Structure 1
Amino acid sequence: MCRGVRTNGACLEPRVIAKAPPGEGCPRCGGFVYAAEQMLARGRAWHKECFKCGDCLKRLDSTNCCEGPDKDIYCKVCYAKKFGPKGYGYGKGAGVLQSDPYANGDQAPKTTVIDTAAIKAPPGKGCPRCGGVVYAAEQVLAKGREWHRKCFKCRDCTKTLDSIIACDGPDSDVYCKTCYGKKWGPHGYGFACGSGFLQTDGLTEDEISQNRPYYNPDTTSIKAPKGQGCPRCGGMVFAAEQQLAKGTMWHKKCFNCAECHRPLDSMLACDGPDKEIHCRSCYAKLFGPRGFGYGHAPTLVSTDSEPTVTYTEQLPFTGAKAAKGKGCPRCGFPVYAAEQMHSKNGSWHRRCFSCADCHKSLDSTNLNDGPNGEIYCRSCYGRNFGPKGVGFGMGAGTLTMA
């Protein structure tokens, strides 16, 4: 009779594993463990066949193996049932209450909780709330002092705090944002007590301002050297409040329209030729084109004898002009690559690239080179150099004899 495993009609005897000296073999069977079949747990080598849960005999690996305090190994489920927390909702379903606190006996891991608040520190060096010694594993920092994690609560509502909602009060204590606003925030109609309630706790404006831990210096009163400060007020401009326009630094509070005082940003600010900044609407009214349909109602025509901005002020360069035939045909100054516009008559400044008659800005779609070396828009080119006669340029009823 075969007592082993039968393979292809042959009977194989069960493998006999030689016993190892005590404490050196497999913890489950005590036999020698060779490198080809070892599994490591609790610093000891196990057979692959023996590397199973001590309760349900489920095969284990490095992802679901839990080492128990009884020097055995378990799967996660059996470990939680045997050594996990006991009570309502733990391990045995939400409807079962464990009533035996000593069910695990000596196998359950024992922990000791030390109340560090009872260890008093020298005056001024401990937790500000309880005065106990604060160790590194439980410290929370606020106002440059160390607090116990369990003591780091709001002074009024005892809400647990963190670095997001903690507010340092002027009384050297900590509060949540709500209690801080009620205790140290502004008082009066619509503040902290509802829009229909008027705070009448007897605090005067002077008392509130003295207790409020906030200081806002007026940097506009700090005058800067001439030509280096804010163009609007002349005060010193620091990095935390600067706005850039026209290559100079402005205060944020001064960075508004010179006409309507609307606050500006990089999308709305327009640098005017008067060395001020304006919003788009005020800039168009002050320096935009004048005439029928521009800036005002369509029926209003400006009667100013001279335009608000002369074209000589818009010349982009000063100094020596370029050699004859090499500069901008309009102004004669040198034209650099970053600003050049091309036509048949040469290279122009971008700001000079406009119609010689109506000064309309031109591009490659409406550019016309005149025979006199100037450039024109289509309308002005047709009026100056187009065909003359009935229906051409001057109306269907007019015949020129030129």
Structure 2
Amino acid sequence: MPFKPVEHPKCPKCGKSVYAAEERVAGGLKWHKTCFKCGLCNKALDSTNCAEHERELYCKVCHGRKFGPKGYGFGGGAGCLSMDQGEHLQAKNEGEFSRGSNAILEPRAIAKAPEGEGCPRCGGYVYAAEQMLARGRQWHRECFKCANCAKRLDSVNCCEGPDKDIYCKVCYGKRFGPKGYGYGQGGGALQSDCYANGDAAPRTTVIDTAIIKAPPGKGCPRCGGVVFAAEQVLAKGREWHRKCYKCRDCTKTLDSIIACDGPDRDVYCKTCYGKKWGPHGYGFACGSGFLQTDGLTEEEISASRPYYNPDTTSIKAPAGQGCPRCGGMVFAAEQQLAKGTMWHKKCFNCAECHRPLDSMLACDGPDKEIHCRACYGKLFGPKGFGFGHKPTLVSTNGDHAPSYIDAKPQVGQKRNDGHGCSRCGYPVYAAEQMISKNRVWHKRCFSCGECNRSLDSTNLNDGPDGDIYCRGCYNRNFGPKGVGFGMGAGTLTMA
């Protein structure tokens, strides 16, 4: 009997056999994993977003485009009209089958409503899902736009005109709004739509306010003309024309905030007032530390310019009350205190090296002078080994220190009772005592008996001869010998 292979289901997309390792199931059919994608947008699918229609797979979005309901409320959101069938996603390659919908969209027929009850623009019935309200009347959503520019309207920018139609705010203003200067796109613009027939716009003339003279002392202080109520500005009980109320020097327009009345009965801005009538000198300009010189001559500037006199002895103080260094008067702005005496800041330095001092460095000497710490120690501090620039021996009489100092103590008599230092035999006091296996040593004698290396509790080794050694010398003298007992494993030492 001939061999007959097992029948495998065929993929509806490519027509080839589908094996268990690569199958995907949808709509009772089995598909290859690579064929399991949307037939319109080629998006990879899974069990959550797959929709099958006549042996073809679609994602839910494309399935709704091709086979879902159309019209108002079935688009991107409620109230939107969707007529998308996915034509822009279909393949354009030659020979590729196009899966476009064969459904024919018939033109929408609008039922006419009785007179005065339907949409004011088209006259058809308006249903609740598509109605827009304006002044108690119902409009279709697509009819609810400006009658002039066809702009889409809403409840914010809709204006109902006197002709019972609706307009946007711009078109309403152009068509039915006021005309003339100040009623255009901005206050001060001329609305000229009403002059489109060739009529010239009215011209405004600027009248000189000084033409109509007022009695002396009663008119505008600047031009002397009569001030009427529509143009008056009040300042310190006087009436000014609005156009005359500006700074005398820079002609800047003024208001009640920046206006300053000068002593010449004129008005100035704050800057010009300060330059002309304000204080002059250092600290009275744009900021503290600047010199304000507007309106001053060079001689006046030089006379008022501050200067610094470095001579502290120019003003002598009574005996015992001035600076101890120079004897001059010490004022509060320059005083420094030291042990109840007041010094000039310039004089408050070391008498020996002239280093500037402060409260941390100053030392009062017995000579009634002040010194830095180093000079005070040299002049008045203790002398001898350890008192100076340590560990230097300081001597002021010219003697020199010995070139060699014996490291072993030579003080007192040696002890023969076994209680002295194990190295030198001299007495050991508590301040210099080092202990090893019930024996005491001087601190400077506590070193290796062979290499004289200083020892401590971490590298101390007591030898059988009663002396102490470092680890290296101990192993060399008393440690085991032979292979493996040298500088490293495997080394032979016979030292």
TM-score of the superposed pair, with normalisation by structure 1: 0.32
Which protein shows a greater Rg? 2
Q: Which has the higher contact order (CA 8 A, sep 6+)?
A: 1
